[in-house]
A and B are shown apart, each in its own frame.
Chain A
Amino acid sequence: MHLILFLVFAAFCLAGAINLLLQTHPINSALSLIVVMTSLAVLYLLLGAEFLAAAQVIVYAGAIMVLFTFVVMLLNAGREERTRGSVAYGVIGFPAVVAILALIATVFLHTTGLGDAAMSNNITTTQELSTVLFTKLLLPFEVTSVLILIAILGAVALARPHDAERTARK
């Protein structure tokens, strides 16, 4: 059962990702990305990470992608133009991608202590997850939140009208 679900949703995920690259219209690409994210959520669920799955749907598919489509709609972005592509990208690009993937795979395979994840009926409850987050991983967790705070402050600073503009508005 787990294997069947995994195969189905992994296929969905890959199909969505390929479709994202092939589509010429930004809205279609955005929608394919949503398919990718929701299928990823199902894969998380198969690994027993229910909170992560829900957060994936609510935050990525439900909030961030809505903003993406919102911007696409607001700017009324049209179809993107197909170019022939440069020959150099074709020649260098594919070997480079293969090389990077190989590098990442080697690093992962040789690192010890990553622990393993298996598809199972065991579910990590929200309680267990938060216990780990707020005891063992407290520092990284808080540092991440500071990082997000910095991003928010940056956005506010960028969006704020400059002094000259503000006096002009008055």
Chain B
Amino acid sequence: MTILQFFLWSLLKIIVVTVVLLLGVAYTVLLERKLVGRIQNRWGPSRVGPFGLLQPLVDGAKSFLKEDIIPTAVYRPLYLLAPIIALSCALISIAVVPFGSPAVEGPGGFHIFQISDVNIGLLVVLGITSIGVYGIALAGWSSNNKYSLLGSLRSSAQLISYELALGLSLVGVVLRAGSLNLRTIVESQARHGLLTWNLFGGFQFVAFFIYLMAAYAETNRSPFDLPEAESELTAGYHTEYSSMKFAMFFMAEYANMIMVGCVATLLFLGGWTSPFGNLIPLPQNIVIQALLPIFWFVLKVFSFLFLYVWVRGTLPRFRYDQLMNFGWRYLMPLAILNIVATSLWLAYK
């Protein structure tokens, strides 16, 4: 494979994945509005297109056409940089996610369903997420507004605290797979379908629940959405942002949700593999063989997003000190215990 081929293939994959991800973001917003609407016994958006399906397009056009107001007292360079950092960090980490079976290869042994297969894929995801904090922190600080500053201070503290629990909860899975490569981690759970997923067969359900809660806090989602608690802080770190800059934060939040869903799918729910294992024989048609893994992957990510919205529609917001206490005094020790227990079990085996 020549370098030119490599660049062209990579460019193609990047464009396709980014477009699909942005569409996913747009429709996750719609999913949330519809679902929260049903939970609160109303219809949600239903006017634009059949069942309100064109609503995301109209929303996008609206944010484009709004006047972009930059308050006079902001610190301009960072004020402009912050939404870019937030959105780009949210979009980049999808590059290491394998969506489909690696058996499907393009010409020259090229992986079609993954932009790049990295040995340390999981660490790359964690690293990029940890850089994403700056988007929120700088947005709040550079806005020169007390609500923004409080929101971003809360957010940085919350993200640092929960990143620990999040990282530690993944160690159990890594120990079981013996690798940081996302593809190897998925393949280690593939043997008997549902029964060998890390969530059930691996006895990593403690880790899964720690991951779940830490992930809600990491993406600033309800019940841990204190950085943008509208009853206390107007809108938190993005109070002073309008038009497309606000939309960039908004997109970053939903892209992060999708990313968290992807990681949960890969690490705990067996990635692209079928929940039935080898019980159902694969159809002979090669197109179906290639697309079926993607179907399972998307279905798993979708159910994770559904859970996100469901939790948001059900649980009230935590108080800030409760959040910190919970993170440091319960989640983190529990995650460490999980690591100890998993390694003891692996050593015993």
Contact = CB atoms under 8 A, between A and B. Distances in A.
A17 interface: no
Contact of B127 (A31, A62, A67): A62
Interface residues of A, number: 22
A3 to B, nearest CB: 15
A62 B130 contact: yes
A61 interface: yes
A92 B282 CA distance: 77
A73 B141 contact: yes
Contacts of A38: 131
B137 A70 contact: yes
B155 to A, nearest CB: 10
Given A58-B126, A58-B127, A66 B137 contact: yes
Interface residues of B, number: 27
Of A63, A66, A69, most buried by chain B (CB within 10 Å of CB) is: A66
Contacts of B243: none
The dominant DSSP class at the B interface is: helix
A126 interface: yes
B134 A66 contact: yes
Interface stretch (A49-57, A135-143, A148-156): A49-57
B119 A67 contact: no
A160 to B, nearest CB: 16
Contacts of A54: 120, 123-124, 126-127
B157 interface: yes
Interface string A23-54: 00001000100100010000000000011001
B324 interface: no
A126 B153 contact: no
A113 to B, nearest CB: 29
A131 interface: no
A73 B152 contact: yes
A123 interface: yes
B180 interface: yes
B123 A58 contact: yes
Contacts of A67: 160
B123 A63 contact: no
Contact of A69 (B119, B137, B149, B180): B137
A27 B127 contact: no
10 contacts: A54-B123, A55-B123, A57-B127, A61-B127, A62-B127, A63-B160, A66-B156, A67-B160, A73-B140, A73-B156
